[in-house]
Amino acid sequence: MGNFFPLQTEKMRDEGHDVVMAPWWIRYPPFPLFYNGFGWVQVFFILSGFVLPLNYFKTGRNSCLTGGVMRRYFRLMLPVLMILSIYLLFARFDFFGESTFNKIKNRTFLDLLYAAMIETWCGPSAWFVNPTWTLGVEYWATMLVYVVAFTGHSYRGRFFWYISLIGFFSVMDFLGFLNLIPFSTKFPVKMMPLFLIGTLLADMENMVERPLDKIRDLSLGWKIVFNSTLIIMIVLWGSLEYETREGC
């Protein structure tokens, strides 16, 4: 056994949070996949990019996008408001310990309304629940997905358009240019390649030729090879260390 902090960021360690004792080998693949939530968040973003424009690709109706834009905020905000209200109630009764209670003891229900209706969608996260940063990313990336889908769907060269955007955002992130913009707008842009991968797959799924069917029609042996390769890639990617990212 050794000192290992699989569920803590560097900031948490510096602030003196309790040490988590774990075997040294648990930090190597595939084990981080089971405690590193950021990898699963990325999978969720790809799935969101696939599902959001799917109905538009199937029908071609602009109302699929305009209706989505009008409803998206309320579909995300109302469940968040309910969940945060329950969280605040339990925290008030000190169900989660002193550290959590100290976060909310000077807060009112109006503060919670502000966090659920505005702060979650405009900032990195709510003041007492760090994982809410994913919701702001989901909301703003939704709007970008709708714009990309609407712009490219009618054009023959749209897959070049998708791949170019994925490459552009990835290169800008790799070169560090995305770090120059504010946090609240930086994260949706940094995550955009994941959403666009899902959008590209959704468009391919609804093509007349349905190129993804060629994968489905593979023999059992090739399916085993293909799916095993995907599983290995997901395990390795999800096992990467993201402990320096605050809120993850």
How far lies 14's CA from each of 22, 35, 116, 161, 247, in Å?
Answer: 19, 20, 29, 44, 15
Over the stretch 9-34, which tens digit does the pLDDT of each residue have?
556 556 655 556 667 677 777 777 77
Q: What is the pLDDT at residue 145? A: 92
pLDDT exceeds cutoff 90 at 111: no
How far lies 154's CA from each of 62, 63, 157, 160, in Å?
Answer: 12, 16, 9, 13
The mean per-residue pLDDT over the stretch 92-108 comes to 70
The mean per-residue pLDDT over the stretch 62-77 comes to 90
Q: What is the pLDDT at residue 244? A: 39
> Which of 57, 39, 81, 44 lies closest to 243 in space, CA to CA?
39
Strand partners, 22: 2
Task: Note if the bond before 124 is cis, omega within 30 degrees.
Answer: no
